[in-house]
Amino acid sequence: MATSNRTRFDTIAIVGVGLIGGSIGLAVRQRQIARRVIGVGRRAASLGQARRRGAIDCGTTRLASGVADAELTIFCTPVHLIAEQAREAATHCPADAVLSDAGSTKRRIVERLDGAMPRGVRFVGAHPLAGSENRGVSEARADLFVGRVCVVTPTERTGAREAETVSGFWRSLGSRVLTMSPEAHDQALAHTSHLPHLAAAALAVALPEKYHEVVATGFRDTTRIAASDPELWTAIFIENAGPLLDALASYEGTLHKFRRALESRDARKLLQLWNQSCSKRQRLAGDDGRRRE
């Protein structure tokens, strides 16, 4: 990681100090990207835990005071809360401050905020492709974003300065930044993230209890993300329902091909589908989720 990539800030605020927010805080402090990291949360106890873990310098339950000095505020809260919180923050943060987020959906959030901010404040959407089914600041890791993609979603109303503030910030945490429109992001992530979550959750729901004893590694891997936070994922599904329904239709169509081949005991067709599956899966980069660059 080149030192020249580092963006220096005086104060950064993180709203929602869980797995993602906590990992951002740890990384910013470890890499000395800001002089001070303020955590904003609902519960004083969680903020105390985040402080003890070294993820923030200080914490507050009041958004207005938390963002008062922050040149950059990052919302790491559930996607259905981000737009409203950002609107409120915009009236309390410094003029010309940049607001961003780490939400898994982008179109509806950006639509509600783009160009709608007072006093030169700007919102630029972002989504780091990292995380896990684990939750809370106790699971946070300073290297969570290293080598991972972060999608940044400027629009035609976004200025070069704020786009670079957010992109540079993510590069300074070790991420590889991809720029996409909010709509393109949501369509892509419907296929690469939201659909696999739906498919995994449906597998877990459909499993009869009596078979738990003969569950092996394959089932566990395939359903790992079925243990993801229900409220978080309900919000993501609602925010991105349209593109997710399209991705689901494509998935159901593929399942139907398998069904037809099974019904007619068509080994040749099954082999063809399995060959496609195997070669497509093998073309994806390394199994640990980090791209080899």
Residues 139-178 that bind a copy of itself (CB under 8 A): 148-149, 151, 178
Question: Residue 267 interacts with a copy of itself (CB under 8 A)?
Answer: yes
Query: Cβ 3 to a copy of itself, closest distance in Å?
Result: 27
Q: Give residues 75-104 in contact with a copy of itself (rule: CB under 8 A).
A: none
Binding flag, residue 115, a copy of itself (CB under 8 A): no
| Minimum distance, C-beta of residue 136 to a copy of itself, in the bound complex (Å) | 15
Q: Which residue has the tokens 């509600």?
A: 112
List 2, 156, 263, 292, residue binding a copy of itself (CB under 8 A): 263
CB of 80 to a copy of itself, least distance (A): 9
Q: Does 138 bind a copy of itself (CB under 8 A)?
A: no
Q: Which is nearer to a copy of itself, 64 or 238 (CB)?
A: 238
In the structure encoding, which two tokens stand for residue 161, read together? 């300065």
C-alpha dihedral sign at 283, 288, 289, 293: negative
Which SS3 state, helix, strand or coil, does residue 196 take? Answer: helix
Q: From 68, 176, 75, select the one nearest 130 (Cα to Cα).
A: 176
Contact 132, 229 (CB under 8 A): no
The only residue of 160, 280, 292, 293 in contact with a copy of itself, by rule CB under 8 A? 280
Judge whether 51 and 58 are in contact, CB under 8 Å.
yes
Provide, rounded to whole angstroms, the least separation between the CB of residue 129 and a copy of itself. 4
Under rule CB under 8 A, residue 244 binds a copy of itself? yes
How many Cβ atoms from other residues are within 10 Å of residue 64's Cβ?
A: 13
Three-state SS sequence of 37-68: EEEECCCHHHHHHHHHHCCCCEEECCHHHHCC
Contact with a copy of itself (CB under 8 A) among 6, 68, 155, 258:
258
Q: What distance in Å separates the CA atoms of residue 224 and residue 201, rounded to the nearest whole number?
A: 9
Interacting residue with a copy of itself among 45, 95, 211, 293 (CB under 8 A): 211
2 is a site residue for a copy of itself (CB under 8 A):
no
Residue closer to a copy of itself, measured from CB, 2 or 216: 216
Would you say 93 or 189 has its CB closer to a copy of itself? 189
Q: Minimal distance in Å, beta carbon 212 to a copy of itself?
A: 6
User: Where are the strands (E) in the chain, listed by range?
Assistant: 9-15, 34-40, 58-60, 72-75, 98-101, 122-128, 149-153, 176-179
- Does residue 262 belong to the site contacting a copy of itself (CB under 8 A)? yes
Helix (H, G, I), strand (E, B) or coil at 193: helix
| Site membership for a copy of itself, residue 245 (CB under 8 A) | yes
Sign of the torsion formed by the C-alpha atoms of 72, 78, 79 and 85: negative
Residue 139 CB, nearest approach to a copy of itself (Å): 13
Among 1, 44, 64, 278, binds a copy of itself (CB under 8 A): 278
Out of 1, 44, 64, 215, name the contact with a copy of itself by CB under 8 A: 215
Q: Which of 156, 160, 213, 293 binds a copy of itself (CB under 8 A)?
A: 213
Task: List the 149-153 sheet strands across, edge first.
Answer: 58-60, 34-40, 9-15, 72-75, 98-101, 122-128, 149-153, 176-179
- Cα 192 off chain centre by: 12
Q: How many residues does the chain have?
A: 293
